[in-house]
Chain A
Amino acid sequence: MTSQTVHLYRSMKELPSTHLLGTGTPMCAGCGGLEALNQLYDIIGERSVFINAAGCMTLLSVYPFTPFRGSWLYTAMASAPAGAQGVRDALDILIEKQRIAADEDMQVVVLTGDGSAYGMGLSATSGAIERNLDFLYICYDNEGYGNTGQQFSGATPHGARTSTSRGPRGYPGFKKDLFAIWAAHKPAYVATVAGAEPVDLARKIEKAMSIKGPRLLIALSPCPTGWDYDPKDTVTVGKLAVKTGVWPLKEYIDGKVMHTKPPRERKPVEEYLKLQGRYKHLFEPKRNDKLIAEIQQKVDRYWNQTD
């Protein structure tokens, strides 16, 4: 893979102002996943091939239209990392055997939602990391099976309402710790990002692009349709996820986990929950103090352990 100059963005002024991904895609207005993808694609660039698993983003490209200036391959829900393996190996073989010029090489990038990443695709991801595949993995995490109507997935947080958890206490399960699962494989790089924190995101993708091996990112993707809030609040919700400590911005590299933007004084999670219709049952018709406290405790426990 050709080397990249590392910018290590310091402020938003330095972020790319040219947006490479084409407009005109059928993602919902205010899609937090698309926002993150736009920011990532601006830095990853068109010398890339995106390998996709079934999810909202599968509909980015519907014949005969595509928003990509680089390449794209839709595979299936469980096997995008395997598709990445095939493409990466093929490019290596073609270059090694001098059947194509070295500058025909591309960054191989898996793009999946949380449905695939946290669940069905976990086996393929595990295999790919185990084989030390040189690829990027971007998971846009909207905390549910979005494309099918927001049923709960392995990424759904405790207490959230989804179309399959409509009871008074919402989703009884707990969000799987995908970051820890990936990090346990000791890949080259793991990071959490959010479109609401573009400088942090830009630094991380730049860093990822400068390394080889398996590099995996989870992008918190606030979802107006699934989380039930007005689309204009996508960035507000994303920022609050970070400021309340619900979404830690961190990276794993060389065996260590570092928090890149720890909230100095964490806002109460309630501020984050209140904005979203998927948590409305925590406040109406009656406040569920117990459940709100549970959620707060979980966040507190996480940050107390990292201090």
Chain B
Amino acid sequence: MPVPQKFARGNEMGRGPYEKSGMVADTALHPLKTAKEHFEIVLDADDDVEERILDLKVQLWYLPYGNMNSDPFLWKEYTEIVTIKL
């Protein structure tokens, strides 16, 4: 997301609109562009099983205030039962 700059100087983020001017960084999704993310999840080894079934859930959250405690918004969700044969 756009990381606003406090009073348009330095690298400190501003929070209230009254102190925001400029940007320190911008990790937003930009228009007409595709952003790619890659995740790898390694599960614990278990010699006694020949198959692992994973209840996978991938979620895209928007956190307007930067954390899950304040008005989080679940934008997208994907679920799949994944079978891994060992």
* A, B: real partners: no
Q: Which residues of A contact B (CB under 8 A)?
A: none
Q: Which residues of B contact A (CB under 8 A)?
A: none
